Amino acid sequence: MLPRIQWSRLGFAQPLSVASPELTLRAIITGLLIGCLLCFTNLYFGLQTGWISMMSLQSALIGFLVSRMFKTPLTPQENVLIQATAAATGTMPLTAGFVGIIPALGLLDEEQDGSPPLRLTWLGAVAWSAAVAYFGVFMSPPVRKQVIIEEQLTFPSGTATAQLISVLHKMPPLDTLHKRKGYTALDSEDAADSELAQEPREGIAAADEEEDEEIKEIVSNEGWSALGWSFFASAALTLFAYFFPITFAIPIFGAYLAKKWLWTFTPSLSYVGQGIIMGFLTTLSMNLGMLVGWGVLSPVSKAYGWAPGAVGDMATGARGWILWTALAIMCSDALISLVPVMMEIVRKMVHGSNPDEDSNENETPDRLVSTKWVLWGLGVSIVVGTIIVWLVFGHEGIKPWATIIGFIMGTLLSILGVRALGETDLNPVSGLGKISQLLFAVIQPGNVVANIIAGGVAEAGAQQAGDLMQDLKTGHLVHASPRAQFYGQLVGSTLSIFVTVTAYTLYARAYPIPGPTFPAPTAYVWLSLARLLRNGELPEKSGEFMLGAAIIFGALSAIKTRLSRNQSRYAYLIPSGVAFAIGFLNTPSFSLARLIGGIVELVYHRHFAQGKHGQDIRLIVVASGFVLGEGVMSVLNLVLRTVGVGVASCWGCGHGMCGGCSA
Crossing angle (nearest 10°) for helices 400-424 and 371-393: 130
Is this structure's pTM higher than 0.85?
Answer: no
Question: pLDDT at residue 125 above 50?
Answer: yes
pLDDT tens-digit readout, 100-109: 899 999 999 8
Which of 1-15, 327-341, 506-520 has the lowest average pLDDT? 1-15
Provide the 3-class DSSP secondary structure of residue 51.
coil
Peptide bond into 514 cis (omega under 30): yes
**pLDDT at position 352, please?**
60
pLDDT band at 221 (very low <50, low <70, confident <90, very high): low
The answer to whether residue 80 scores a pLDDT higher than 70 is: yes
Q: Which of 525, 518, 342 is nearest to 430 (CA)?
A: 525
Classify burial at 142, counting beta carbons within 10 Å of its beta carbon; exposed 0-12, middle 13-18, buried 19 or more: middle
Task: Report the distance separating Cα 300 and Cα 317, nearest Å.
Answer: 12
Average pLDDT value for residue range 274-280: 86
Please state, for a pLDDT cut of 90, what percent of the chain lies above it.
Answer: 27
Closest CA to 262 of 565, 658, 613: 658
pLDDT-based confidence at 196, cuts 50/70/90? very low
Q: Assign 222 a pLDDT band (cuts: 50, 70, 90).
A: low
Q: Taking a C-beta distance cutoff of 8 angstroms, is the pair 508, 125 a contact? A: no
Question: Which of 101, 78, 100 has the alpha carbon at shortest distance from 31?
Answer: 78
Residue 54: pLDDT over 80: no
Most distant CA pair in the chain, distance? 76
Q: Which amino acid does the sequence have at 201?
A: R
Q: What is the mean pLDDT of residues 588-609?
A: 88
pLDDT at 588: 92
Lowest-pLDDT range of 34-38, 203-207, 415-419, 564-568: 203-207
CA dist 645 → 319, 352, 508, 636, 648 (Å): 32, 65, 17, 11, 9
Q: Are 500 and 128 in contact (CB under 8 A)?
A: no
Contacts of 23 (CB under 8 A, 6+ apart): 2, 3, 4, 5, 81, 481, 483, 484, 487, 488
Could you give the CA distance from residue 255 to residue 247 in angstroms, rounded to a whole number?
14
Fill in the amino acid letter for 594: R
Question: How confident is residue 201, by pLDDT bands cut at 50, 70 and 90?
Answer: very low
- Model confidence at 210, pLDDT cuts 50, 70, 90, reads low
Residue 250 pairs in a beta bridge with 265
Q: How confident is the model at residue 218 (pLDDT cuts 50, 70, 90)?
A: low
Q: What is the pLDDT of residue 426?
A: 66
Q: What is the pLDDT of residue 499?
A: 96
Most confident of 205-214, 353-362, 419-428: 419-428
pLDDT at residue 515, as a whole number: 84
If you average pLDDT over every residue of the chain, what do you get?
A: 81
Closest CA to 601 of 218, 227, 280, 274: 280
Q: Residue 328 is which amino acid?
A: A
Per-residue pLDDT, averaged over 359-387, amounts to 84
Residue 298: per-residue pLDDT: 95
Residue 476 CA to residue 470 CA, distance in Å, equals 10
Is the pLDDT at 83 greater than 60? The verdict is: yes
Residue 180 vs residue 239, higher pLDDT: 239
Task: Return the pLDDT at 506.
Answer: 92
Q: Tell me how far apart the alpha carbons of residues 20 and 2 are, in angstroms, rounded to a whole number.
A: 8
Beta bridge partners of 265: 250
What does the chain come to in residues?
A: 663
Which range, of 34-43, 353-362, 510-519, averages the lowest pLDDT? 353-362
Supply the Cα-derived Rg of the chain in whole angstroms: 24
In the chain, where the domains are located: 7-642
Distance CA 96, CA 500 (A): 9
Q: What is the DSSP string of 344-375?
A: HHHHHHHH---TTGGGG--S-GGGSPPHHHHH
- Residue 139: pLDDT band (50, 70, 90) is confident
Tens digit of each residue's pLDDT (9 = 90 or more) over 498-540:
999 999 999 999 888 888 888 898 899 899 888 888 887 788 9
Residue predicted with more confidence, 635 or 595:
595
